[in-house]
Amino acid sequence: MRTVAVVLAGGVGQRMGAATPKQLIEVGGRPILALSIEAFDRHPDVDEVLVVMAAGHLPTAAAIAEPFGKASRVIEGGDTRTASTAAALRALADHPGDTRVLFHDAARPFVDRATIDRVLAALETEAAVAVGVPSSDTIVEVAGGVVAAMPPRETLLRFQTPQGFRLDTVRKAYELALADPGLRATDDCGIVHRYLPDVPVRVVAGSERNLKVTHPLDIVIAEHLATENPPEAQ
């Protein structure tokens, strides 16, 4: 059974507000995208890494991916993260349904080997696997500026990536999702949960280091993680 890691780098980094997409910003002297590709390229159970890049930046992404033996292809993403995942699924159309596929945010350059191991181990028996960490903040639902609901914090997790699937499962979920004019999603497990409600989404532990570089302050933290405690030391 083959394992493909899809590194989603199709965003433009609006919240970061930099001149280039945030995945091209260097931390510890290397582009964030290179660190994310490397995490999967070096994993012994990953066979192939597919990079999905923002339009207009494919040659740069191809140059970054080139040294990694498993990063065979760089394709163009879509206008949303969901559209970029859909583009990856189209690019994997010739892969058998029992392929294991891991979708990872390029913006999470510090994913560690143990997290990938946990996702792959769960995929031995499950068709959809998420990575989550507890919230240290109280999370509330707000409507019209006032609190509408306060779910008990111990029932809540913050999702990270990679999110892992059997290819046939995520394919089916996306087929249904893309036919829904009301489609709104922020991750791939959400799409499986909504469109294939009978498929359990197993949750495994993530890591606080696996931050998603989103806002300018995250670059300061990422620079620290990359230089003081680099991924290869994990």
Ligand X SMILES: C[C@](O)(CO)[C@H](O)COP(=O)(O)O
Determine if 41 is a binding residue for ligand X (CB under 6 A).
no
Determine if 57 is a binding residue for ligand CTP (CB under 6 A).
no
Contact, 38 vs 68, CB < 8 A?
yes
Determine if 160 is a binding residue for ligand CTP (CB under 6 A).
no
Stretch that binds ligand X, among 16-24, 145-153, 154-162, 224-232 (CB under 6 A): 154-162
DSSP state, residue 70: T
Question: How far, in Å, CA of 112 to CA of 121, rounded?
Answer: 15
Question: Where on the phi/psi map is residue 145: left (φ > 0), alpha (ψ -120 to 50), or beta?
Answer: left
Which of 26, 78, 153, 159 is the binder for ligand X (CB under 6 A)?
159
Stretch that binds ligand CTP, among 79-87, 120-128, 152-160, 169-177 (CB under 6 A): 79-87
**How many degrees, rounded to 5, is the angle at CA 159 between CA 185 and CA 24?**
80
**Residues contacting ligand X: total by CB under 6 A:** 8
Question: How far, in Å, CA of 7 to CA of 161, rounded?
Answer: 10
123 is in the binding site of which of ligand CTP, ligand X, none (Cβ under 5 to 8 A by kind)? none
**What does DSSP say about strands 100-105 and 3-9: parallel, antiparallel, or unpaired?**
parallel
Question: How far, in Å, CA of 213 to CA of 211, rounded?
Answer: 6
Contact, 75 vs 65, CB < 8 A?
no
Determine if 161 is a binding residue for ligand X (CB under 6 A).
yes
Determine if 52 is a binding residue for ligand CTP (CB under 6 A).
yes
187 is in the binding site of which of ligand X, ligand CTP, none (Cβ under 5 to 8 A by kind)? ligand X
Question: How far, in Å, CA of 88 to CA of 44, rounded?
Answer: 22
**Residues contacting ligand CTP: total by CB under 6 A:** 24
Q: Please give the residue ranges that form the binding site for ligand X (CB under 6 A).
A: 81, 105, 159-161, 186-187, 212
Which residues bind to ligand CTP, rule: CB under 6 A?
Answer: 8-15, 21-23, 52, 77-81, 83-84, 105-107, 212, 214
